Amino acid sequence: MSEFLKMATLDELPPGGAKEFEHEGRIYALFNVDGVISCIDGFCPHEGGPLAEGEVEGTVVTCPWHGWRFDVRTGATPMGPNYTVDVFEVKIDGDDVLVALP
Q: Which residues of the chain have pLDDT under 50?
A: none
> The pTM is what?
0.93
Identify the pLDDT of residue 80.
87
> Are 64 and 54 a contacting pair, CB within 8 Å?
yes
3 state SS of 102: coil
- Quick: pLDDT tens for 13-39: 999 999 999 999 999 999 999 999 999
51 by Cβ neighbours in 10 Å (0-12 / 13-18 / 19+) ranks as buried
Which stretches of 24-95 are assigned E, i.e. beta strand? 26-33, 36-41, 55-57, 60-62, 69-71, 87-88, 90-93
* Distance (Å, whole) CA 30 – CA 50: 12
